[in-house]
Amino acid sequence: MHDSGVRRFLQRLTIAVALVAITGWATSPTGRSQFILISPDAAIIESEAAYLDTVRQLDGEDKLVDDPLTVARVARITGRLVSVAIAEFPESADWKWSVAIVDDPEMVNAWCMAGGRMAVYTGLFDQLELTDDEFAQIMGHEISHALANHTAERMSRAMATTLGVAVIGVASDNSGAAMAGTALVANLALTLPNSREAENEADVMGMVLATEAGFDPEAAVTLWQKMGDLNDERPAEFLSTHPAPENRQAALNGMIPEMLKVNPSRTKAPIHPVTVVQ
């Protein structure tokens, strides 16, 4: 790139960075400031593409579970959570709520992308012997990540990194560095772990969501006790992306008195249709 082209590129990039500083902040459902460069709609589009690629790969490897009892259980529990999610966040009514049940008894993990695309690994059930209430706490936590635009936050972090790499690459006439920066958004945005603040937010929102759906809030504590016991034996994938500080159980336990007031009769929410990918 000629010097004049470099200057023009850097001028445009400087304007973009200035606009980021002005417009790159939003407020989460709990009132937390969020660094957002990617719109929620754009995050949903990117997540859908990544999800469909993942599902195609899993289907090709014959990893998608179609056992009727497992499918019915997952659809029933996630359907109640989604029903509450839509009531609290009406914009999510248009999401393509779906869940892939992945046959992997060694993988203790679950996730939910922007737009309501979810996955559950059979290792959760096989290794933790989850009750319905405990599974609801996991999925409430994961769904909360999507509702709180945490995917857009992760993508924004990747984009901010890309801007920095692009500046360095163009300034040094290193097209490889600039290309690497562009690749970061595609390759890292959906795999970066959530921040500690986002995890704490999902803990709070997830417990409220599960309680409103009719599940026992105390299951959040027993769930993390099981996670801790499993981690003593071997690390769980879930814990690699969901930091569990020593006070996490205590923090969740401290929420229970208020949660018991939210839905004291444990009235079950209706079941919203959720597509189980098979």
Task: Answer whether residue 167 shows pLDDT above 60.
Answer: no
Helix or strand holding residue 196 (H, E)? helix 196-212
Lowest-pLDDT range, 3-17, 53-67, 127-141? 3-17
Classified as helix, coil or strand, 105 is: coil
Q: Is there a domain that residue 38 lies in?
A: no
**Average pLDDT in the 150-175 region?**
57
Q: Tell me, what's the pLDDT at 45?
A: 86
Per-residue confidence (pLDDT) for residue 39, from 0 to 100? 76
Q: Which one of the listed residues 46, 142, 153, 212 is annotated catalytic? A: 142
Please indicate, yes or no, if residue 99 is contained in any of the structural domains.
Answer: yes
* Residue 190 confidence (pLDDT) above 60: no
pLDDT of residue 170: 40
* Identity of the amino acid at 179: M
Q: Examine residue 13 and state whether it is found in any structural domain, yes or no.
A: no
Confidence of residue 155 (pLDDT cuts 50, 70, 90): confident
Contacts of 92 (CB under 8 A, 6+ apart): 82, 85, 86, 116, 146, 147
Strands 33-35 and 25-27: what pairing? Answer: antiparallel
Q: Are 151 and 113 contacting, i.e. CB atoms less than 8 angstroms apart?
A: yes
Beta bridge partners of 34: 26
Residues 237, 132, 82, 75, Cα dihedral to 10°:
90
Bridge-based pairing state of the strands 98-102 and 275-277:
parallel
pLDDT for 276 equals 97
Name the domain count of the chain.
Answer: 1
Between residues 112 and 32, the one the model is more confident about: 112
Domain range enclosing 259: 62-146+192-277
In a domain, 218, yes or no: yes
Give residues with Cβ within 8 angstroms of 149, minimum separation 6.
26, 28, 34, 36, 40, 43, 114
Over residues 81-100, mean pLDDT: 97
Distance CA 80, CA 143 (A): 12
pTM check: above 0.85: no
Note whether residue 166 is domain-resident.
no
User: Residue 7 — pLDDT band, cuts 50, 70, 90?
Assistant: low
The whole-number average pLDDT for the span 248-267 is 89
Assigned domain for 95 exists: yes
Arithmetic mean of pLDDT, 149-177: 56
In a domain, 169, yes or no: no
Q: Return d(Cα 204, Cα 256) in angstroms, integer.
A: 11
Instruction: Please say if 142 is a catalytic residue.
Output: yes
* pLDDT score recorded for residue 104: 96
For residue 77, being part of any structural domain is answered with yes
- The Cα 197–Cα 61 span in angstroms is 36
Indicate whether 223 pLDDT > 80.
yes
